[in-house]
């Protein structure tokens, strides 16, 4: 099983625009996902799972995404990235709470840019937009994980101010072990 590395991003001040001019003069626009995007979100999750070498683990269904992300009290939110009006990537996030900081945080569950759109500033636009959302929501930090073998992503995140938090390890209980633990 691959391990993930936790990253923190210092939250810089940012402007208010949700459109960023990307490299190669492509226009990158970001928007909050709607119920109509659930099929697209599911497809992007599957593409991310393929990139992360574990497509069988992507069990999310459109029904589950609809229920959990687009109900009266959504558990997560999604930003869809478009490049020249074509879907190019997404970021799925939710708010958590830091007992040490005594304030909310933003947890980035997934950030994915389709391979054919990489190198156009889309990942930068997404991470900047999430930093802005975090600041606007009064969050003290933005946190996510990255697979330890994913050197291009680690370099990308570090170049934008993130740091690897090596002293923290991810712990997980799922499936049958979760059921046993609950007994």
| Residue 13 in this model has a pLDDT that exceeds 50 | no
pTM: 0.86
| Burial (0-12, 13-18, 19+ Cβ within 10 Å), 63 | exposed
Domain of residue 131 covers 4-182
Catalytic residue (one of 20, 93, 107, 157): 157
Question: Which residues, 6 or more positions from 118, have their beta carbon under 8 angstroms from its beta carbon?
Answer: none
Q: What is the pLDDT of residue 26?
A: 67
| 157 part of the active site | yes
pLDDT tens digits, one per residue of 93-111: 999 999 999 999 999 999 9
| Residue 172 in this model has a pLDDT that exceeds 70 | yes
| Residue 118 in this model has a pLDDT that exceeds 90 | yes
Is beta strand 27-32 parallel, antiparallel or unpaired with respect to 19-21?
antiparallel
Residue 180 CA to residue 163 CA, distance in Å, equals 35
Q: Structural domain tally of the chain?
A: 1
Angle at 162 between CA 29 and CA 4, to 5 degrees: 95
Q: What percent of the chain has pLDDT over 90?
A: 83
Q: In this structure, what CATH number is given to the domain that contains residue 74?
A: 3.40.630.30
What 3-state class would DSSP assign to 87? strand
Residue 50 CA to residue 18 CA, distance in Å, equals 29
pLDDT tens digits, one per residue of 52-91: 999 999 999 999 999 999 999 999 999 999 998 899 999 9
| Residue 161 in this model has a pLDDT that exceeds 50 | yes
């Amino acid at each position: 099983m691959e391990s993930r590395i936790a990253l923190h991003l210092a939250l810089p001040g940012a402007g208010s625009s949700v459109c960023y001019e990307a490299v190669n003069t492509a226009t990158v626009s970001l928007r909050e996902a709607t119920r109509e995007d659930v099929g697209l979100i599911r497809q992007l999750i599957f593409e991310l799972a393929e990139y992360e070498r574990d497509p069988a683990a992507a069990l999310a269904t459109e029904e589950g995404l609809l229920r959990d992300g687009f109900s009266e009290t959504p558990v997560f939110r999604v930003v869809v990235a478009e490049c020249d009006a074509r879907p190019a990537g997404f970021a799925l996030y939710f708010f958590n709470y830091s007992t040490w900081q005594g304030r909310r945080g933003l947890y980035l569950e997934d950030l994915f840019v389709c391979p054919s759109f990489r190198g156009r500033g889309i990942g930068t636009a997404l991470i900047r937009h999430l930093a802005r959302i975090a600041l606007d929501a009064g969050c003290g930090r933005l946190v996510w994980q990255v697979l330890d073998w994913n050197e291009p992503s680690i370099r990308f995140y570090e170049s934008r101010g993130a740091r690897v938090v090596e002293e923290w390890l991810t712990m997980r209980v799922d499936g049958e072990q979760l059921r046993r633990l609950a007994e």
